[in-house]
Amino acid sequence: MKQKMRVLISGASIAGPALAYWLHRYGFDVTVVERAPALRRGGYGVDIRGVAITVLKQMGILDQVREADTRMTGVYFVNSKGKIQGQISEASMGNQHGLDIEIMREDLCNILYDLTKDTIEYIWDDSITAIHETEAGAEVQFTRSKPQTFDLIIGADGLHSNVRNLIFGDTEQFKRSLGCYISIFTLENYLNIDHSSLMYTMPGKTVGMYSARDNTEAKGMFVFKSEALKYDRYDVEAQKKLVQNAFQGDRGWETSNLLKTMKEATDFYFDEICQIHMSTWSKGRITLVGDAAYGPSPLSGQGSSLALVGAYVLAGELKAAQGNYDRAFVSYEKEMRKFVEENQKIGLVAAGGMIESSKSKILLRNLMLRLPILMGAMFKMITKMIVKASNGIALEDY
């Protein structure tokens, strides 16, 4: 690369800043644009496993990320009166003690931003409105800033990727819905939950609460099965109403309290549980990374690992191809495709386990949770699947 290639990354969550770090390290000139006015608060705990741990190590932030581990011990299933019916340890959900990390999404975003804020230009509260490719580069129009030309545009802007919409077309064609919706928000840890989760399941619905930030606060969670819902992604009040309606009339356990608290929540998160499947992630000077290209769904626990590994591979391939983006994008897709598919399978399995369809299935699950032999066998199977998927790529040394 004679002249520094200019790269615009859309999205300042996990994939964006991670990619910006590697590209800057390899001598690219990087700008990140983010629609939100600042780093987004809230969100759920995210898992980092397998080769993604190696990526963090190479970025020099592994100790910092480990430091912020949620140190969760497991999940307790309760009935409508709050009585414990069964439990699953963290290990049985495929989290290998001492190896895997669970960190709050917000904490990981902060660490990645701190790592890059002095070397990368961040444009906040702005968004791409149009991309026009020419021989010389990609001309980009913004909502607020004046137009600029870049050599490459990378969408790291999540499940509802703006870049994907502009270049590849409407999200609906790439979205595979898993038939349910999830909402998460922060509240006071008034039940004094200690490094664990409480889950109350009804047919087609789950109400949860888990401790966060060393038990100083908690997260409330609602998951429910539903036909596709029409709503404005930027209208938080309308989304709260959807959750309210879904749990209308449910009085068991802490449901009423959590609904009340949710109304006041300032870091409310709501989304459909879905995956993104695309036959190609690149077109011309534009490519996608992380959830924008291959979101495995929030329930898979693999989204952040895919984002970190995807960022590492994409930047590495661009460096190896000396900026020949056609060649780099083909290699990136070839390297990542199988790894992505294996991890998306976990999302499908996890969605099935999060919501039970009938009372009898809930009873059966609770019964199984009390039988150590059955649990042991199931635990081995799940762990094996997750370990295999999260290590399913040999990282090149770029």
pLDDT in the model for residue 154: 98
Separation CA 176–CA 205 (nearest Å): 20
CATH code for the domain of 294 = 3.50.50.60
Phi, psi of 365 (to 5 degrees): -60, -45
Q: Do the domain assignments include residue 225? A: no
pLDDT in the model for residue 171: 87
pLDDT in the model for residue 307: 97
- CA nearest 52: which of 12, 7, 108, 136? 108
pLDDT in the model for residue 44: 82
pLDDT in the model for residue 299: 78
pLDDT in the model for residue 2: 56
pLDDT in the model for residue 200: 95
Residue in the structure block whose two tokens are 């959900």 = 93
Q: How many domains does the chain have?
A: 1
Q: Do the domain assignments include residue 120? A: yes
- CA nearest 290: which of 112, 101, 41, 141? 112
Q: Do the domain assignments include residue 398? A: no
Decide: residue 284, CB within 10 A, 0-12 exposed, 13-18 middle, 19+ buried: middle
Separation CA 325–CA 17 (nearest Å): 20
DSSP lists the bridge partners of residue 45 as 104
Dihedral class, residue 184 (left if φ above 0, else alpha if ψ from -120 to 50, else beta): beta
- Rg of the chain, C-alpha, whole Å: 21
Domain that holds residue 88: 6-174+275-390
Separation CA 208–CA 254 (nearest Å): 9
pLDDT tens for 142-173 read 999 999 999 999 999 999 999 999 999 998 99
Q: Which two tokens stand for residue 29?
A: 């000139």
**Cβ proximity of 353 and 77 under 8 Å:** no
- CA nearest 160: which of 174, 139, 180? 174
Phi, psi of 320 (to 5 degrees): -60, -35
Q: Which amino acid is at 363?
A: L
The low-confidence residues of the chain, meaning pLDDT below 50, are 1, 92, 94
Alpha carbons within 13 angstroms on the beta-carbon side of residue 330 total 4
Q: Which two tokens stand for residue 217?
A: 């606060």
Q: Which two tokens stand for residue 353?
A: 């386990």
Q: Do the domain assignments include residue 395? A: no
Q: Do the domain assignments include residue 106? A: yes
What are the angstrom distances between the C-alpha of 51 and each of 104, 276, 339, 345? 19, 22, 11, 17
Separation CA 49–CA 306 (nearest Å): 10
Q: Do the domain assignments include residue 256? A: no
Q: Do the domain assignments include residue 214? A: no
pLDDT in the model for residue 96: 57
Q: Do the domain assignments include residue 207? A: no
